[in-house]
Amino acid sequence: MQVYFHSYIFYFIFSLSIIVTISGCNTNNNDILKFKNSLFGKTESSINKKQLRITNGILNYKDFTSNNADLNIKKAILNHPIYQKKLASLEIAKSNIELVKSSKNLQVNFGVLGGLARQDEQNELGLSGSINFTKLLHDYGAIDQAIKSEKEKIKAAEFEIKSQAETLGFKGYENWINLFTEREILEIYKNGIKRASPLVEKIDQISLSGIADSTLILKARKEYSEMVVRMKEAEVVEKNAEIKFLNFFNPKSFQNLGKLKAPVINSYKSHEVKMIKNSPILRGQKALLKSLKTSKDSLIAQKNPNISFRAGVNAPAEDPVKNGSANVGFQLNYIYDDGGKLDAQIDAAENQIQFSKIDYANYLKNLKLELATSHKAYYGAKVTRENLIELIQLSEDVRDNLNDQLSIGRAKLQDVLNAEVNLANNKILLINAERQLLVQGYKIKYLSEGLFSGIKWY
């Protein structure tokens, strides 16, 4: 069977297309390094020089005192994987804005077309090249609004990083306070048992003699045994607090753990004003809302026509000057009907704006409630602490008085033991009140003005 090709044409074509965007992009090797560093835990390039001195200082991480608490917690935040993940998200947001900006820049397209053509039983090889230029001239501000929207997204991402750093900071302070408190409680139990043990031994000796009331002896033994059980429970709680502390700070080891200084707390109204002004959560929501509004404006601008400058040259490999062609001009593009796609996008953007407003109101309401609760808890703990200080002084006087009376036979061993147990319990109540005072104080500061004012975390 023979097949004849006359006026039919077929092509075996290979093509190469290269697109180059001439832009004013600011991305350089430092930006790439910053992004890589944020992914692999090297955050120095993404914070300012002041912060670099914090992370590169001669800080002894084995020593945790009130003087270096701020530095220790900052260092733990910088090394925390959640913080580093937020930094990586910011770099992604920054790369998105470059993508949007590129739409305004000159677009250059290089193309090469080659292939085999057969016509009238003749085979011919062909090769041609082309270069095309496109530059957007006017789009009623659609891309400019999109760029503004991306900038606001970057601001929102920055506030999210700050919010995460503050949250981690409060967690660090809380872990510190809890471990210090549990160690104090455990020490009180140990001292109380140490002081009570000789009394219990004497009570047991009296019990063997049969001259004491068995009911009182059993009661004394019961109180002592309960103290021992509570000490064992305190040991477990202290160990759990230590695990949380080590998990947050991740030191190889540490020797000292000092008591933190209490922050200065003022009236609720003053802290509420600071919170509304400074809260990174609220400021981030405002930036996100502004981003959504400008994004909607960008979509609305796309309903208008846009004008572009276009130019191009096409030439074959054989005699390109003679057989080549060129074009230059302006292109007007107007979407007359897209089936309602753009209108649907505008409606969706408006719904997102309304949702974001509700979201902001919910955040504000919850933050106010959280601040009010912490403020009341702080002043409640403050009153409790003052009352317990007086009660402990009375408990010590009672114990000392009973010891004096015991030496002259006017008091019983059971009474002295009971006084020791009551004193230990009151001291533990005081320590817990002081814990509440510190935790709620730092929480109020965290919610209102921030734990680390003046620090740029990105």
Residue spans of the chain under pLDDT 70:
1-62, 116-120, 204-214, 216
Q: Is the pTM of this model over 0.75?
A: yes
- Residue type, position 346, single letter: I
The tally of CA atoms less than 13 A away on the side-chain side of residue 128 is 14
pLDDT for the residue 126:
76
| Residue 69 falls in which region: left (phi positive, over 0), alpha (psi -120 to 50) or beta | alpha
Burial class (CB in 10 A: 0-12, 13-18, 19+), 169: buried
Taking alpha carbons only, the member of 262, 276, 21 closest to residue 135 is: 21
pLDDT confidence of residue 208: 57
pLDDT score at 438: 97
* Per-residue confidence (pLDDT) for residue 414, from 0 to 100: 81
Q: Quick one: which of 172, 169, 180 has its CA closest to 249?
A: 172
Helices 280-301 and 341-407: crossing angle, nearest 10°? 180
Helix, strand, coil % over all residues of the chain, rounded to 5: 65, 15, 20
What CA–CA distances, in Å, run from 156 to 94, 163, 290, 295, 352?
A: 12, 10, 10, 14, 15
pLDDT in the model for residue 453: 81
**The dihedral of CA 376, 377, 378, 382: what is its sign?**
positive
DSSP H helical ranges for 66-141:
69-78, 81-101
Q: What is the pLDDT of residue 324?
A: 84
Helix extents (H) in 210-279: 214-249, 268-278
Look at the domain 141-305+339-447 and name its fold: Outer membrane efflux proteins (OEP) (1.20.1600)
CB within 8 Å of 229: residues ≥ 6 apart? none
41-59 confidence digits (pLDDT tens): 344 334 443 443 344 433 4
Task: Provide long-range contacts, Cβ within 8 A and 24+ apart, for 396-400.
Answer: 396/423, 398/422, 399/423
**Residue 438 identity (one-letter amino acid):** L
Ranges of each domain in the chain? 141-305+339-447
pLDDT value at residue 113: 82
Which residue type, as a one-letter code, is found at position 187? E
- Name residue, tokens 């200084």: 261
Taking only the tens place, the pLDDT of each residue in 108-127 is: 998 888 776 666 677 777 78
Residue with tokens 């959560």: 281
**Which residues are registered as beta bridge partners of 315?**
129
Tokens representing residue 324 in the block: 């080549």
Within 10 angstroms of residue 454's Cβ, the number of other Cβ atoms is 6
Q: What is the pLDDT of residue 12?
A: 38
